């Protein structure tokens, strides 16, 4: 499709002025004079034969034509900027947008990112964290790593691994615990899954489990941080807190576990895997196999 010669400088001047509603602030951003910005906008208006701005006593206002033009120009500059940032070392970087449960991201993924960079130096991962509530389509994600049973509507899921839960607490609290029944005298921190402590006490062969009275958390990450600060005993996956366990900051007083699901690598069924997605999937599956 043939394109007219695009007045890029004039479009940049218009876009910056429209965002700031000021020629002066646009000039500061673009490192030119206010007169230069005004001249570029005027030339664009003459070329298009429309008025883009209303000159007001204090600043600028967009006309209907300016309002129509702004989102198209802004999106185009954003897309060009994003693509140009992906070039490096003579090759375009492959972008992968990933959402992950915060506990998984901090406890498992981040320590392994150097291995991902070494294996795929041109894979540009954009990571956002959540508390297991995610909308892949609305958030524009390639993948989401979630905790559960793998059954999400219109979603393809690859199981990574189970992450069974157990009691985690400060070492000084752990020293007071001889049997699971000793937890009756402790504050038991809870997640929004109300049956987890009951399941753990059943696995520990405690006939009548105590009623948890501690705070309710939507994240194991926050719950274990509360335990670190002496707020009580957390029920969390030790696999996600190996560094704290190795350093002795947190202790695992019992070898009793209860499983409530697995971590899964998920994508929309309607989303055909890109090269970047395939590379990341193969890497994380291999990393899980190596760690197990």
pLDDT, tens digit (0-9, with 9 covering 90-100), for 33-54: 999 999 999 999 999 999 999 9
Residue 124, pLDDT above cutoff 60: yes
Q: What average pLDDT does the chain have?
A: 91
Rounded to two decimals, the pTM is 0.70
Span of 62-76, 78-92, 142-156 with lowest mean pLDDT: 78-92
Q: What percent of the chain has pLDDT over 90?
A: 77
Tokens of 69: 């033009």
Residue 258, pLDDT above cutoff 50: yes
Beta strands in the chain, from DSSP E residues, in sequence order:
53-56, 59-62, 87-88, 91-92, 94-101, 123-130, 143-148, 155-162, 166-168, 190-191, 216-217, 234-236, 262-268
Mean pLDDT of 68-91: 78
Confidence of residue 66 (pLDDT cuts 50, 70, 90): very high
Mean pLDDT of 175-189: 94
């Amino acid at each position: 499709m043939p394109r007219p010669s695009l007045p890029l400088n004039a479009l940049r001047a218009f876009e910056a002025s429209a965002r700031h509603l000021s020629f002066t602030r646009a000039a500061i951003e673009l490192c030119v004079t206010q007169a230069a910005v005004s001249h570029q906008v005027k030339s664009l208006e003459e070329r298009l034969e429309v008025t883009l701005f209303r000159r007001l006593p204090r600043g600028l206002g967009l006309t209907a034509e300016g309002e129509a033009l702004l989102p198209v120009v802004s999106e185009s500059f954003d897309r060009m900027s994003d693509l140009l940032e992906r070039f490096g070392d003579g090759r375009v970087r492959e972008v992968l947008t990933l959402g992950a449960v915060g506990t998984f991201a901090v406890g498992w993924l981040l320590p392994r990112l150097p291995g991902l960079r070494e294996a795929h130096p041109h894979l540009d991962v954009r990571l956002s964290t959540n508390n297991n509530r995610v909308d892949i389509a609305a958030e524009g994600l390639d993948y989401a790593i979630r905790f559960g049973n793998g059954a999400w509507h219109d979603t393809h899921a690859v199981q990574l691994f189970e992450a069974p839960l157990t009691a985690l607490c400060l070492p000084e609290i752990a020293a007071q615990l001889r049997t699971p029944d000793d937890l009756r005298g402790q504050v038991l921190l809870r997640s929004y899954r109300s049956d987890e402590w009951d399941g753990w006490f059943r696995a520990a062969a405690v006939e009548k489990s105590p009623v948890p009275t501690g705070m309710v958390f939507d994240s194991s990450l926050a719950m274990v941080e509360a335990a670190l600060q002496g707020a009580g005993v957390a029920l969390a996956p030790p696999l996600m807190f190996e560094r704290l366990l190795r350093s002795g900051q947190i202790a695992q007083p019992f070898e009793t576990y209860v499983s409530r699901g697995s971590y899964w690598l998920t994508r929309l069924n309607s989303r055909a895997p890109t090269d970047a997605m395939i590379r990341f999937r193969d890497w994380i599956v291999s990393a899980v196999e190596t760690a197990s």
